[in-house]
Structure 1
Amino acid sequence: MPAITEPKLISGNANRSLANAIARRMSMHRGMSVGLVNARVERFNDQEIFVEVYENVRGEDMFIIQPTSNPANDNLMELLIIADALRRSSASRITAVIPYFGYARQDRRTKARTPISAKLVANLIVEAGIERVLTMDLHATQIQGFFDIPVDNLYAAPVFALDIEHHFKSQLGNVMVVSPDVGGVGRARELAKRINAPLSIVDKRREKAGEVAEMTVIGNVEGMSCIIVDDICDTAGTLCKAADLLMEHGAKEVHAYITHGVLSGPAVERISKSVMKSLVITDSIEPSAAVKAAPNIRIVPTAPMFAQAILNIWNGTSVSSLFETETLVPIYEGMYTPG
C-alpha cells in the first residue's frame, strides 16, 4: 500500500555531510525540498546527550541518519536517544540508517569470557523503538540475524565495480582482485565476478589483535594491477603490508577499495607513504581533514544509493534492486558511463 506521508530525515552529529547529501539527492528524486528535521543534539557539561525535536513528527515515517563511528559510544547513544525522542513524539515508524555499523567486529566469542557486543548493540537498537535498520557492508552478514526487525544491508561492491570499470577502462584485462585475508574471499569474489577479473588471496596469521605475524600470497600476481578489497580499514597496517607483499611478488601496481575508512591513529600517514597508488573509500564515515588532504585517498559518495534505498523503503519497493548495475548507473547520474 503506498505511503501517504513524505519520508522525513533527522541526523545526529556523526556524519552531517552525508545526511545533507542524502537530503539533497532525495529532493532531486521527489521534485520537492526534502530537508533534515529541525532538531538539536547537544551535550550537557558532563557530556550527557540531550535531544530536542522542533518539528511535529506525529504519524511520520522517520529515518535517522547516524553511523556509529568514532566516537562509537557517543554516536550510538545519540542514535538511541533520537529514536526515543521520536517514539515518544508518536512517529509512525522509525528506521535507523547506519552507514557504518560500529561494534560489528565483535560478532562472536573468540575466547572464553568475552562479549558479543554486536548482539548487545542490536538489542539496544530494538529496545529504543527502532523498527528497521538500513546499513552498508556489515563486517559479518550474520549480524542481520541478531535483530528481530528487518535489516537491509547494502553493498559497496556494485558501486566499486562501476568505479573500477571507469578508472581502469583501458587495462581491465590486467586487473586482479585481491582479498587481504581468507575471511574476505566472498566479498572479493563478488567484486571480481562483477568486473570479470581473476582473484588472489593474501593469507595472514595474527599473533594478537592488530599485529600480523606472517603473510603469504595465494595466486600469481606478477605484472597485474592488483585491487585489494575489504570492508574496513582501521590503522592500515595490514593493508600497507599486503601492498608491499604484492609488489614483492611482481605486481605492476596496487590499489585498494575499502568500504569504511575508519583510518584511526597512523593510518593516513601510512597510506600516504605506502606503495599503494590509491585508496578508494566511501563517505559512510565522515572523512577527517587529513583524509581529504591525502593525495592518494579518493572518496566515492554513497548518498545516491542511500537516498534511493530510503525512498524504496518508504514506497514499500525492493531495496535489493540497488545491487544491480542497471539500477545504479542512472542513480549516479553521469558519474559512471557504461563501458
Structure 2
Amino acid sequence: MTLWAESQGELRIFAGRNSMELARSICSHLDMPVGRSRTEAFPDGELIVHIEEDVRGRDCFVVLSTCNPVNDNLIELLIFADSLRRASAKRITAVIPYFGYARQDRKERGRTPITAKLVANLITTAGYGRVLALDLHAAQIQGFFDLPVDHLAAGPVFHQYFETIRPEMGEMVVVSPDVGNVKVANMYAEMLSGELAIVDKRRKSGSEVEMTRIVGDVRGKTVLLVDDMIATGGTVVGAAEVVMKEGARQVIVAATHAVMAGSAAQKLAKAPIERVIVTDTIPADGRFEPLKKKIVVLGVGKLFADAIHHIHYNLSVSALFRKYGESKR
C-alpha cells in the first residue's frame, strides 16, 4: 500500500514555480500526485498563490528552493504558507532544498544584518510549523528558527554515485577547500576509505578568494574536492589549481548546491577539473551548458521523499543518516 493510500489523502505536497521537477520526483517515490496549485504574477510584479484543492485538516509540504531570483522565490514561499494557513491546513512544512541567504549567518562587520535569521523569522511568521532543508551552509541556522528543523545531508546520494566510480579513482584523497568544511570532508574520507587534506583559503571579497597552501599529501592521487555549494566558482577553481600544482593526478568536484552565479560555469569548464558532481536542489535552466562535458546531476527526490514519509508518520528523520555520520547537522 502506498503512502498516499495509507494516509487516506491526508498528505499534500505542493511545488513552487522553480521546484516542480523536484516535487514530481519526490511524489513519484511516494506514488502520489503533486498538489494542485498555481502561482500567478500580476503586471506590477506582485504574486498570488492559488491552492486549487481542499487542504482542510491536511498535512501539507511546500517544495521551493530560495535560489536566484532569491527574493521572488522567498516571497512565493511565504505566500504559499499564508494561502494554506487560511485554507485551514493542519500542518505546513517548508521543504527548502536550497536555503538562500544562508551565507549571511553572522555579522562580518559593524552595522550589517544577519539576514539568515531574518529569513527564519519570516518563514515562521508566515505560518510554517516545520522546515526541511538540505546541507545548510551553516548548521547554526537551525537555531535561528523557533520551530523544528530537519537538516538532511546529501551524503547518501553522493555515496551511491561514488561507489560506481570508486575503482577508476584509484588512490584518493578528499580535500576540503576551506577549514569550515573539514567535518564534511572527513565524513566523505571515512565513507570512501580515503585520506584527508585541507586547502588554506583566505577570502579577499565576496567573489574573490586566495588559495595559499595545502595541508596534506595529494601527489599522484585523485583529489575529491567537496563543498556544500558552488557559487562564483572561485573557491573550487582555486583549490583545484593548488592541488594540481602539488602533483594531483586529477580533480573531481562534488557540491550539493549548484548556485553557479555569474560566470561560474565558464570558470569550471576551463579549470583543471575532470568532473563536477552536483544535485538537483537548484534547477539548471541552461546554466550548465558550458559544463555539459563535465557535469553530473544527482537527484535528491528519494532523499526528500523518505524524509517526508518519516515526518508525516512522526518517525525519526535522523535514522535515515546514521550510517553516513552526522555531516554538519
SS in structure 1 of the partner of residue 320 of structure 2: helix
Aligned to 1:242: 239
Q: What aligned pairs does 1:315-330 form with structure 2 within 5 A after superposition?
A: 315-324=313-322
Structure 1 residue 84 displacement after superposition: 0.2
1:295 to 293, 296, 316: 293
Structure 1 residue 156 displacement after superposition: 1.0
**What's the CA shift string for 1:50-86, capped at 9, x where partnerless?**
1111111000000000010110000000000010000
User: Sequence identity, in percent?
Assistant: 45
2:75 to 64, 74, 77: 77
Aligned to 1:22: 26
Answer yes or no: is the 8 Å Cα contact 2:260–2:287 preserved in 1. no
SS in structure 1 of the partner of residue 204 of structure 2: strand
1:252 aligns with 2:249: yes
Amino acid in structure 1 at the alignment position of 2:61? F
Relative to structure 1, the CA distance from residue 169 to residue 324 in structure 2 (aligned partners, 3 Å threshold; closer, same or farther) is farther
Aligned to 2:144: 146
1:218 aligns with 2:215: yes
SS in structure 1 of the partner of residue 288 of structure 2: helix
Amino acid in structure 2 at the alignment position of 1:51? V
SS in structure 1 of the partner of residue 17 of structure 2: coil
Answer yes or no: is the 8 Å Cα contact 2:227–2:255 preserved in 1. yes
1:54 to 52, 55, 70: 52
Aligned counterparts of 1:295 and 1:16: Cα–Cα separation in 2: 26
Aligned counterparts of 2:134 and 2:165: Cα–Cα separation in 1: 23
1:159 aligns with 2:163: no
Aligned counterparts of 2:322 and 2:254: Cα–Cα separation in 1: 19
SS in structure 1 of the partner of residue 142 of structure 2: helix
Amino acid in structure 2 at the alignment position of 1:7? L
| Cα RMSD for the two superposed structures | 1.5
SS in structure 2 of the partner of residue 15 of structure 1: helix
Aligned counterparts of 2:265 and 2:208: Cα–Cα separation in 1: 18
Amino acid in structure 2 at the alignment position of 1:304? K
Aligned counterparts of 1:303 and 1:234: Cα–Cα separation in 2: 22
Answer yes or no: is the 8 Å Cα contact 2:211–2:242 preserved in 1. no
1:8 to 6, 12, 33: 12
Amino acid in structure 2 at the alignment position of 1:78? E
Answer yes or no: is the 8 Å Cα contact 1:158–1:194 preserved in 2. no
Aligned counterparts of 2:193 and 2:274: Cα–Cα separation in 1: 22
**What's the CA shift string for 1:242-283, capped at 9, x where partnerless?**
111111100000001000000011111111111100000000
**What's the CA shift string for 1:66-119, capped at 9, x where partnerless?**
010110000000000010000000000000000001100000111000100000
Amino acid in structure 2 at the alignment position of 1:128? A
Aligned counterparts of 1:209 and 1:41: Cα–Cα separation in 2: 33
Answer yes or no: is the 8 Å Cα contact 2:176–2:225 preserved in 1. yes
1:306 aligns with 2:304: yes
1:273 aligns with 2:277: no
Amino acid in structure 1 at the alignment position of 2:106? R
Aligned to 2:224: 227
Q: What aligned pairs does 1:20-169 form with structure 2 within 5 A after superposition?
A: 20-27=24-31, 34-169=32-167
Aligned counterparts of 2:284 and 2:66: Cα–Cα separation in 1: 14
Structure 1 residue 161 displacement after superposition: 2.1
Aligned to 1:198: 195
Structure 1 residue 214 displacement after superposition: 4.1
Amino acid in structure 1 at the alignment position of 2:91? R
Q: TM-score, normalised by structure 2?
A: 0.93
Aligned counterparts of 1:280 and 1:288: Cα–Cα separation in 2: 17
**What's the CA shift string for 1:287-307, capped at 9, x where partnerless?**
122416621011010001001
Aligned to 1:175: 172
Amino acid in structure 2 at the alignment position of 1:61? D
Ranges of 4+ aligned residues in structure 1 off by more than 2 Å: 2-6, 169-172
Aligned counterparts of 1:291 and 1:325: Cα–Cα separation in 2: 32
- Once structures 1 and 2 are overlaid, which stretch shifts more, 251-260 or 188-197? 188-197
Structure 1 residue 175 displacement after superposition: 1.1
Answer yes or no: is the 8 Å Cα contact 2:10–2:57 preserved in 1. no
Answer yes or no: is the 8 Å Cα contact 1:184–1:230 preserved in 2. yes
Structure 1 residue 162 displacement after superposition: 2.3
SS in structure 2 of the partner of residue 200 of structure 1: strand
Aligned counterparts of 1:53 and 1:288: Cα–Cα separation in 2: 26
Structure 1 residue 213 displacement after superposition: 3.3
Q: TM-score, normalised by structure 1?
A: 0.91
Aligned counterparts of 2:320 and 2:154: Cα–Cα separation in 1: 10
